Amino acid sequence: MTIPPLVAHTLVLLLAAGLLAACGQNNGASAVTPKDTAQDTYCALDGMLLADYPGPKAQIHYAGQPEPEFFCDTSEMFSLLLKPEQARMVTIAYVQDMDKADWAAPKGAWIDAKAAFYVVGSKKRGAMGPTLPSFGTREGAQKFAAAEGGKVHPYAEITPDMARLDGGALHDQRM
């Protein structure tokens, strides 16, 4: 059986186009970088100015939205991400590595929220009171927990109860 040249050329062109398209695809997360906060950066949930409060901050990047939404506390970020009704497509979320950021006035030190370790139940307070301090390494989180109390958890273990904004479960986990 012989394939007509026009059909063969068409198939080769379609195959080449498909391969080129696959090479150009990006999962989206790697192209989205964290944004720095400014003096007038405010919290998407309550309008509080991030610069006015201590503790780790967070930002969520949504698909199709050019700018991230910022949060004055990691608990607020989790209160959104862990809601069953959260329907907006999240490209990536960032939190601050508190091993590298100053607690009183954190700037920069952004890390992927899903790769971070969190301390639940520490005595340290953030913008909303009880908070979930974020760290780039388990060791950094364990050192913080030894000094400030609490238990270390990776992102995948954080539950809605742990991130309650009223601090109920945050207090229950202290050691």
pLDDT digits (tens, 9 = 90+) for 98-144: 999 999 999 999 999 999 999 999 999 998 888 999 999 999 999 99
CA–CA separation, 56 vs 73, rounded Å?
A: 6
CA–CA separation, 125 vs 55, rounded Å?
A: 7
Q: pTM of the full predicted structure?
A: 0.77
**Residue 151 Rama label (left phi>0; alpha psi -120 to 50; beta):** beta
Nearest CA-CA partner of 136 in 102, 163, 96: 96
Q: Which band of pLDDT confidence, cut at 50, 70 and 90, is reported for residue 10?
A: low
Report the sign of the C-alpha dihedral through residues 11, 12, 13, 16, in that order. positive
* HEC string for 113-153: HHHCEEEECCCCEECCEECCCEECCHHHHHHHHHHHCCEEE
Could you read off the pLDDT of 58-112 as tens digits, one per residue?
A: 999 999 999 999 999 999 999 889 987 877 899 999 999 999 999 999 999 999 9
